[in-house]
Structure 1
Amino acid sequence: MEKIEQSVMEPVGKVDIEHTKTEFSMGMKVIMQKLEWFFVQKGFVLFGLGFLLGRALILSHLTPFAMPFFAAVYMVRRDRAPVALMGLLAGSLTLSLTNITYTFASTILFLIIFRVTRKFQKNELKAVPYFVFFTTITANLTFDYITNGQMMTVYDGAMAGVEATLSFILTLIFIQSVPLFSISKRKKSMRTEEVVSLIILLASVMTGTIGWSVYNLSIEHILSRYLVLLFSFVAGATVGSTVGVVTGLIFSLANVASFYQMSMLAFSGLLGGLLKEGKKAGAAIGLLIATLLVGMYGESDTSLTKTLYESGIAILLLFLTPAALTMKLAKYIPGTAEYNQEQQQYIRKVRDVTASRVEQFSSVFQALSNSFVSLEEQMENDDVDEREFDQFLSNVTEKTCQTCFKKEQCWARNFNQTYDLMKDVMFEVDQGHVPVNGKVGRELEKHCVRSKKVQDVISQELTYYQANLKLKKQVQESRKLVADQLLGVSEVMGDFAREIQRERENHQQQEEQILESLQDFGMEIENVEIYSLDKGNVDIEMVLPNGNGHGEGEKLIAPMLSDILGENIIVQKEDAAAFPSGHCQLTFGSAKAYVVDTGVAHAAKGGGLISGDSYSMIELSASKYAVAISDGMGNGERAHYESNETLSLLQKILQSGIEEKVAIKAVNSILSLRTNDEIFSTLDLAMIDLQDASSKFLKIGSTPSFIKRGDKVVKVEAGNLPMGIFYEFDVDVVSEQLKAGDLLIMMSDGVFEGPKHVENYDMWMKRKIKEVGTDDPQAMADIIMEEVIRTRSGEIEDDMTIVVSKIKHNTPKWSSIPVQKFKRKEQVS
């Protein structure tokens, strides 16, 4: 019983703990949102920054921070400028009445100059630093003149120029950093310039704390070290050391006695960033080491104990900093893991939105395809014919029986007999028996008093009836064709959406293993990126330093990868180095299991230059190869245009990913609708899979093809009419399994039916193919073409094209190189 209670109570306790954590995190999030609303949106953070900047000094008496800060706030958040001004005046008041008077007078002068010259400004943001410069130097010289009277010196003018120059530079910096504290909704990342500007602003703000101390511990030292700790922990050694240098430099300008702080802050930022993998404790250890080293060997008069206390308080502040704040800060700084994750989430969101839109388009095309298959078209043909005949009979009776006095007797009392008789009469008229004789004629004469008129009307209406049936059939076929094409587009877009959503797999471990194995072999590899390790679809990119084009990728790396992955790997693409010491980028992929070697022989009718036949060898993808021959009706330029257009359309549609049968139907519909002329073309298409050598043959009005395997010759044929005759037709697909060494012979009718005085073209062609003693595709194509022309005594009476393709195993150019550490793909895991 106690065990049962314990097993029940344990999950409850876990649930309570998880619930408490969730509530705590939600509470902290609410508190952070309220603090952000209070300080950022209400502008109180600007008051605090202004207060510290208003009392910040450089070189003991220069105040170059107040005017740039007010100008930046005035340009970015004009509605919060009074709050910032109040903070500046409050800070200046802590120094002296002269400082507050100078700050207030310079801001008023800036506003007057800005408002007066506003009409002449094309870009206010670019003009502000110049206004600040002019305002600062004018106010400084004026105050010096009032204070010193006629005793102004060159030193006073030089210091006024220095302060004005610093104000000019600080204005450019503050304009980039002030939005970070005054605008709550902004972009989710910062440029490097913005990060540096933020650091300078924070360091400038901390100079306002110079002279403050608690229990004889310097506030500026504590805050500066905390700032370095925070950025080194969040952003690493680069940003941490940058913060240390910038902060120490600004402190040394404010107080020359603090110059030694720059070395300690920079060193602590570097060590803290290098030790950030140890979390906050690692960054804290970096600060302690820097403090001990600089404190023991530096020239500072401050005691080591006091310095350690200040560093200890900075470390305590770091540990008290909420993780939510550090993570939020990290998302803004380029190069951090949080920043990269944020960018990945954005990219993933864009990808998902794109895939969703593509899927919506796919569903739209699917719905359009379904809408073309209406209920009426799904009904049986007998029902359709019966309804059409009823309509036909209605038209006949309207012109004959409606005004007949025997209408009631024929259609009310003897409906079935009259209906069957009308059907028989229509059949006789359709057969061309006009006037109707025989048994049907006698029954009509006996049954109907207007038999002659009925026959004439039936003969007249029958023409419209047949034309209507033909038109409806064509419309139905067209609808079905459009439905198939829309369905094909829908499938292609659906596959594309799934391809978009497929993320790159994480192959970091495999990349390290392959890199290590290649480096152990002595190869110098800078980077390896694996995109796919699927069998037959390997995709690997490598970067080689000092690539000099000696073929290392083809001769060494690819054979080693072949041994590691257990399949043939080849160099698919090589981007050579632009200069001798540059980098070379190589792309490796799976080699095809089979390759196709093709030979072609063709001739135009009468030895002309333009043939009505066209042929094409199409690389559809990494594993599909297509061979096609099209024969345009007739000869000459028009036939060449038709056949070439057929292959061009087919190639574009097949490369889009649409299935072969749908592609051929689409080409047929285009050809049949494009012109009213009776211009047709045949198509002989062979689709070969280069991974398993399976093949599909689609023959549209074309002659048979032949497969030669040793001494055996197999004929491949299918009965389909040429393209362009009918809107709709069925495509017969013949599948054959090819083998290495097979010869595929495809030809136009000019070759197949070319031999003179031959009764059985099949037997003659099989015999000639079997007699050819070579397996070279080009030689075989030339020999068969020559044999056919010889039977015609050298005359070429039709366009002739023959394409011979040989299926071969893909033998790698270089043998695999054994790698001792990894022998199989299973080990690369």
Structure 2
Amino acid sequence: MQKTEGNYASPATEAIFNRTRLEFSRYITQFGLKTEKVLFHWGALLLIVGFLLGRALILMKIMPFALPFFAAVYVMKREKSALAGLAVLAGAFSLSIQNGLLLICAFFLFLVVYRLSGMISLEPAKKLPFLVFFTMLLTKIGMFYVLTQQITLYDFTFVTIEAGLSFILTMIFLQSIPLISQRQRKQSLKTEEVICLIILLASVMTGTIGWSIYGLSVEHILSRYLVLVFAFVAGATMGSTVGVVTGLILSFANIGSLYEMSLLAFSGLLGGLLKEGKKIGTSIGLLVGTLLIGLYGQNNQLLSMNLYESLVSVTLFLFTPKLITKNISKLIPGTTEHTLEQQQYVRKIRDVTANRVEQFSNVFQALSKSFSQNGFYEDDRDEHKEMDYFLSNVTERTCQFCFKKDQCWAQQFDTTYHYMKEVMHEIDQDTLQYNTRLTRELDKHCIKSKKVIDVIEQELTNFRVNQKLKHQIQESRRIVAEQLLGVSQVMNNFAKEIKRERENLHVQEEQILDALRNFGMEINQIELYSLEPGNVDIEMWVPYCHGRGECEKIIAPMLTDILGESIVVKHEDCATYPQGYCHVSFGSTKAYVVDTGIAHAAKGGGFVSGDSYSTIELNAGKYAIAISDGMGNGERAHYESSETLQLLKQILQTGIEEKIAIKSVNSILSLRTNDEIFSTLDLAMIDLQDANVKFLKIGSTPSFIKRANQVIKVQASNLPMGIIEDFDVDVVSEQMKAGDLLIMMSDGVFEGPKHVENYEMWMKRKVSELETTDPQEIADLIMEEVIRTRSGIIEDDMTIVVAKVQHNTPKWSSIPAYGQRKKAL
């Protein structure tokens, strides 16, 4: 074996070390599982707690802990109630026989009262505190009457106080018993559950009063250890709370320990403040608290004993495994471990949801493929089958009992089949009477030619109906397939968004928070969800500014300078009262904005136009402009065009791609009616980040882009919607610039000028001669110019939409935040 160089171990040594570590980890895990089994499954923890609560007293006379503990275990863990009862009785008998006999009577009376309470229709947990109260009251009154043969007002008050404490402790134990009797716990505890658990632990410690080791009080050691643990895992607030609660309960049990409450509370506060120094810092907090509190009113001997007790608690705390403190911190709200545990839980839920959405997406995609295959790939084969079925029906009615059947269909099959197929085609085209050659040859070939022609005419009607139904079914399948595919794509994108984890932006949050606070802005809380360029998402909680607009005028401009891109207020929920906080959402502005102008007129100056238009700002950062022209004029044409745009708008807002959306609308329109009612569609999708425009023109007129003195024509060749059931959408893309004008119009405007041979050249010339850049003025001027050429007569529905693309200039300029630029983020 070669010698190791420097600090590097040899592979064999490293393998032995790793194997030893794994074996040790496995041993620790097995030991932990066995310990949990003994404590929770076998009930050893309930046994220990019950014994100590049976010994717990207040003012050396009142014992309010035993019966509430037994009652809570009896209701929530019936199978372990006998074990808990024996443990409590053992603790009571360890104090005195009188206490043990009193508890036996109390347990027996409680079981009787609980059985009788079955007549009350309430949940056991709700009626249990009242049952314990009356049980303790009757038991104590009976004891005083047996011992003294009389009950004074003092005795009755004493008994009532003890029963009242039992009532309160029952409600507390109902919250805390599940925490010490179940192996599987919840992800986190509520604040009241944490307090109930602390009260239970402090009550258990009162059972150790009178115990000492080498003169050191066991309850003092355990109480200070408890404060150390909670101050270390949860900070100063929880540490001081545990100290106050524990010290108060111990002082009730022994009035001589009243100073202990001050010591525990102050030590919990110091230990929590020094928790950044790890266990050593928290331990120093306890020692400093012990010295400071011990200097008041105590002699040197008591001070030294207190210091020794604190040192023992610190020793136990330092040897407490990290795994225990980590598991405790996961249960307490507000700790870092609890936050990480919750984030892990949320991430797990998110992943499960994303996987389910992906599964649904795959199902929809598979269904779409299934519909497509069934609808499109068997057309040719089905057509031959249908022709054969058609000719079989004709043959059955004409040739079945003909004496020349064998000659025609056995010896001359191809000739007969060809004649019948050709006759069918001629009848379908209504040209058979002009084709004398075919009728002459059919007469020579068939002795029942007249009857064959009549039967083919009759069967052809049914054949046409069947063909139409078949095409409608195929088109329905195609619509379903396209819609399923679109839904699959939307759900797939949604799954990807769900999987996108929130970035760890704690450092950036602190930097932005410091920059705003250094400027003098008071920020209560800030949450950064995304700093991706063009997709910034920030939420803040800021004090109410009495309507001065500080978020829009100050905070957003500062964020603009810090992040290096324009930030604006997306949404703001103002506080309902002056001292409250406003919830504000900030986000990136779009690089471009669109200003539109619209002019339209109905035929003859009427009120109902067959043209419809719409401008839609989609969530994907796109701006859609659409014009639809229904065939003809009047209400029917208006209904067709408006319905087209309404369907398109709803489909586009779901996130489905533009081409699929248009083909879906076309299929719906083609199947919806048998009337020859068609509509055109002129759609422009403007990307507000880069000003790229996609034109989808379905039977519409050309559009024009005016850039300075240049006019660009945009045109595509597609039939109007509803004419054919299946078509390919031609997409034309153009790159617009700031200041460009997009002019879209219906055919009433484009073909409206009278005595014009070339409409395109005339429109280009009019657009190039425009001096204004205001969209509304341009729309009005072009509309007016077209109407003038007709001497004021409007012979068709007319619609024109003008859009101006320009840079998005923020309302407020950025405010410098020095030292916090984006490169520092």
TM (norm. structure 1) is: 0.92
| Equivalence map 1:355-374=2 (5 Å) | 355-374=354-373
Q: Which amino acid aligns with 1:644?
A: S
CA contact (8 A) 1:620 1:626 kept: yes
CA contact (8 A) 2:375 2:477 kept: no
Q: Which amino acid aligns with 2:273?
A: L
Q: State the 1:661 CA deviation.
A: 1.2
Q: Which amino acid aligns with 2:325?
A: T
User: Which whole-Å CA distance do the structure 2 matches of 1:397 and 1:201 have between them?
Assistant: 96
| Equivalence map 1:234-633=2 (5 Å) | 234-299=233-298, 302-374=301-373, 377-378=376-377, 381=380, 388-399=386-397, 428-429=426-427, 432-435=430-433, 437=435, 444=442, 451-457=449-455, 461=459, 468-621=466-619, 623-633=621-631
Indicate the SS of the match to 2:787. Answer: helix
User: Which residue pairs with 2:643 in the alignment?
Assistant: 645
CA contact (8 A) 2:423 2:432 kept: no
User: Which whole-Å CA distance do the structure 1 matches of 2:439 and 2:608 have between them?
Assistant: 60
Once the two structures are superposed, what CA deviation does each residue of 1:343-398 show, in whole Å capped at 9, x if it has no partner? 222212221221121111111110111101227833685x6655555555555555
User: Which whole-Å CA distance do the structure 2 matches of 1:337 and 1:12 have between them?
Assistant: 39
CA contact (8 A) 1:54 1:91 kept: yes
- Which 5+ residue runs of structure 1 have no aligned equivalent? none
CA contact (8 A) 1:260 1:299 kept: no
User: Which residue pairs with 2:668 in the alignment?
Assistant: 670
User: Which residue pairs with 2:194 in the alignment?
Assistant: 195
CA contact (8 A) 1:598 1:778 kept: yes
1:771 to 762, 765, 769: 769
User: Which residue pairs with 2:749 in the alignment?
Assistant: 751
2:808 to 807, 810, 814: 810
Once the two structures are superposed, what CA deviation does each residue of 1:754-802 show, in whole Å capped at 9, x if it has no partner? 3334343323332332333211111111112222222333333333221
Distance 1:445 1:674, change over 3 A: closer
User: Which whole-Å CA distance do the structure 1 matches of 2:658 and 2:168 have between them?
Assistant: 67
Indicate the SS of the match to 2:811. Answer: coil
Q: Which amino acid aligns with 2:814?
A: S
Indicate the SS of the match to 1:251. Answer: helix
User: Which residue pairs with 2:823 in the alignment?
Assistant: 826
User: Which whole-Å CA distance do the structure 2 matches of 1:808 and 1:239 have between them?
Assistant: 57
- Which 5+ residue runs of structure 2 have no aligned equivalent? none
Distance 1:503 1:240, change over 3 A: same
Q: Are 1:43 and 2:43 counterparts?
A: yes
User: Structure 1 stretch 597-606 or stretch 412-421: which is displaced more?
Assistant: 412-421
Q: State the 1:418 CA deviation.
A: 5.5
CA contact (8 A) 2:680 2:721 kept: yes
User: Which residue pairs with 1:96 in the alignment?
Assistant: 96
Indicate the SS of the match to 1:266. Answer: helix
Q: State the 1:624 CA deviation.
A: 0.3
Distance 1:532 1:235, change over 3 A: same
| Equivalence map 1:645-794=2 (5 Å) | 645-794=643-792
Q: Which amino acid aligns with 1:115?
A: R
User: Which whole-Å CA distance do the structure 2 matches of 1:375 and 1:604 have between them?
Assistant: 45
User: Which whole-Å CA distance do the structure 2 matches of 1:121 and 1:230 have between them?
Assistant: 43
User: Which whole-Å CA distance do the structure 2 matches of 1:50 and 1:784 have between them?
Assistant: 93
Q: Which amino acid aligns with 1:585?
A: H
Distance 1:243 1:7, change over 3 A: closer
CA contact (8 A) 1:547 1:582 kept: no
Indicate the SS of the match to 2:536. Answer: strand
User: Which residue pairs with 2:211 in the alignment?
Assistant: 212
Once the two structures are superposed, what CA deviation does each residue of 1:296-343 show, in whole Å capped at 9, x if it has no partner? 345367533322222222122223333333222222221122222222
CA contact (8 A) 1:400 1:453 kept: yes
User: Structure 1 stretch 728-737 or stretch 292-301: which is displaced more?
Assistant: 292-301
User: Which residue pairs with 1:227 in the alignment?
Assistant: 226
Distance 1:394 1:566, change over 3 A: same
Q: State the 1:452 CA deviation.
A: 4.8
Q: Which amino acid aligns with 2:736?
A: L
User: Which residue pairs with 1:26 in the alignment?
Assistant: 26
Indicate the SS of the match to 1:188. Answer: coil
User: Which whole-Å CA distance do the structure 2 matches of 1:164 and 1:764 have between them?
Assistant: 100
Superposed CA RMSD in Å reads: 2.9
User: Which residue pairs with 1:115 in the alignment?
Assistant: 115
Indicate the SS of the match to 1:372. Answer: helix
CA contact (8 A) 2:224 2:264 kept: yes
User: Which whole-Å CA distance do the structure 2 matches of 1:718 and 1:211 have between them?
Assistant: 97
Once the two structures are superposed, what CA deviation does each residue of 1:615-658 show, in whole Å capped at 9, x if it has no partner? 21101125200011222334344433332222222111101100
Indicate the SS of the match to 1:740. Answer: coil
User: Structure 1 stretch 657-666 or stretch 372-381: which is displaced more?
Assistant: 372-381
User: Which whole-Å CA distance do the structure 2 matches of 1:302 and 1:6 have between them?
Assistant: 55
Q: State the 1:677 CA deviation.
A: 4.1
User: Structure 1 stretch 571-580 or stretch 85-94: which is displaced more?
Assistant: 571-580
Distance 1:726 1:302, change over 3 A: farther
Q: State the 1:63 CA deviation.
A: 1.4
Q: Which amino acid aligns with 2:27?
A: G
CA contact (8 A) 1:750 1:800 kept: yes
User: Which whole-Å CA distance do the structure 2 matches of 1:431 and 1:497 have between them?
Assistant: 53
Q: State the 1:442 CA deviation.
A: 5.7
Distance 1:62 1:475, change over 3 A: closer
User: Which whole-Å CA distance do the structure 1 matches of 2:122 and 2:166 have between them?
Assistant: 22
TM (norm. structure 2) is: 0.93
User: Which whole-Å CA distance do the structure 1 matches of 2:186 and 2:167 have between them?
Assistant: 26
User: Which whole-Å CA distance do the structure 2 matches of 1:636 and 1:414 have between them?
Assistant: 59
User: Structure 1 stretch 350-359 or stretch 306-315: which is displaced more?
Assistant: 306-315
Q: State the 1:545 CA deviation.
A: 3.0
Distance 1:58 1:762, change over 3 A: same
User: Structure 1 stretch 205-214 or stretch 28-37: which is displaced more?
Assistant: 28-37
Q: State the 1:154 CA deviation.
A: 3.6
User: Which residue pairs with 2:138 in the alignment?
Assistant: 138
Indicate the SS of the match to 2:126. Answer: helix
Q: State the 1:213 CA deviation.
A: 0.9
CA contact (8 A) 1:47 1:84 kept: yes
Could you tell me the percent identity over the aligned residues?
62
Distance 1:377 1:133, change over 3 A: closer
User: Which whole-Å CA distance do the structure 2 matches of 1:818 and 1:243 have between them?
Assistant: 47
Q: Which amino acid aligns with 1:11?
A: P
Q: Are 1:168 and 2:174 counterparts?
A: no
Distance 1:94 1:756, change over 3 A: same
2:799 to 784, 798, 801: 801
Once the two structures are superposed, what CA deviation does each residue of 1:171-193 show, in whole Å capped at 9, x if it has no partner? 22112112212233443322111
User: Which residue pairs with 1:69 in the alignment?
Assistant: 69
Indicate the SS of the match to 1:553. Answer: helix
CA contact (8 A) 2:419 2:442 kept: yes
Pairs aligned (count): 825
Q: State the 1:494 CA deviation.
A: 0.5
Indicate the SS of the match to 1:303. Answer: helix
